[in-house]
Amino acid sequence: MEYFLQQLINGITLGSIYGLIAIGYTMVYGIIGMINFAHGDIFMVGAFISLIVFLAIIALGITWIPLTLLLVLVIAMALTSMWGWTVERLAYRPLRESFRLAPLITAIGMSIVLQNFVQIAQGARVKPLEPIITGGYALMERDGFVVNLSNIQILIVTTTVVLMTIFSLIISKTSLGRAQRACEQDRTMAALLGVNVDRTISLTFVMGAALASVAGLMYLLYYGVIDFYIGFIAGIKAFTAAVLGGIGSLPGAMLGGLIIGLIETFWSAYFSVEYKDVAAFSILAIVLIFMPSGLLGRPEVEKV
């Protein structure tokens, strides 16, 4: 029971990171109906920006951890959002009215460009960071096995819940959210009614990139090491989570992220770690066979 509880905590933490990335996928798809396969590498760029900003702030003599983390979070979100805006402006806007395969190919190309850019700029070696947030709580102990809940795990889950709540309120309560929902239903009609479609889509990319940067910071703090390739792996997992939960649904993206994180963690703990990805994709295939729109997705209604 103790071992199960520990893996449950670890799985929820990992799933929270996947969920933050998956929200970016589902927001973009919900509005323009395209998969931004460069989004995982935006997450990677956010992790590197967080590391660089953190080292710069420490070099300036700011060592109070809460202030340092707040500055890193704000700066990383701002800079990573600029990358998200650039990707939309260069790779998606010129091809928005093209055949559907063109933006997909462009997104894959942007993913490769971002990977190689970071590899050239920062090197191919892994970049470590010493633990910043340490300590935690021992929940229970039996036969020498201690169930630990670390402070960084609490921070990751709390941050995810807060951001999920904020972005859900933005989409449901603000004028930007109404514009996003209008573009999701019919971009042409939304434009006729005065919605700035280009601005709305750009802001959606910016919001998704901001969430990806938070996920990058959380990943850096949790694992303490990053490289230029983490965006591809995490991006595939987050995309799987978005599809599993129901592409286009924010709660579905978070639910999918938690499920993928739990599957990976429990499979690695009780079975062979080499097949944890097989288990995750198998669950996805099973769910899509019986629920093609995902767990919380809505069936697409074809407009005629």
Considering Cα of 289, then 290, then 295, then 296, what sign does the dihedral take? positive
Closest CA to 213 of 69, 75, 52: 75
**pTM for this structure?**
0.91
Closest CA to 300 of 29, 4, 28: 29
Q: Report the alpha-carbon angle 165-168-170, nearest 5.
A: 110
Please report the pLDDT score of residue 280 as a whole number.
80
Cβ-count burial 184-208 (b if 16+ within 10 Å, e if not): beebeebeeeebebeebbbbbbbbb
List the chain pLDDT tens, one digit each, 304 residues. Answer: 788 899 999 999 999 999 999 988 888 887 777 778 889 999 999 999 999 999 999 899 888 888 999 999 999 999 999 999 998 888 888 887 777 778 788 888 899 999 999 999 998 899 998 888 888 888 888 877 888 899 999 999 999 999 888 988 888 889 988 998 888 888 888 899 899 988 998 999 999 999 999 999 999 999 999 999 899 888 888 888 888 888 878 888 899 999 999 999 999 888 888 888 888 888 878 887 888 888 887 665 555 4
Distances (CA, A) of 47 to 99, 151, 187, 232: 33, 20, 33, 13
Tokens linked to 29: 């798809």
Residues 147, 77: contact at Cβ < 8 Å?
no
Distance of CA 279 to the CA centre of its chain: 21
Which structural domains are found in the chain, ordered by start?
A: 2-290 (1.10.3470)
Residues 220, 50: contact at Cβ < 8 Å?
yes
3-state percent breakdown (helix, strand, coil) of the chain, nearest 5: 75, 5, 20
Residues in the chain: 304
Please report the pLDDT score of residue 47 as a whole number.
94
**Cα(269)–Cα(47) distance, integer angstroms:** 27
Distances (CA, A) of 301 to 97, 132, 298, 304: 20, 48, 9, 9
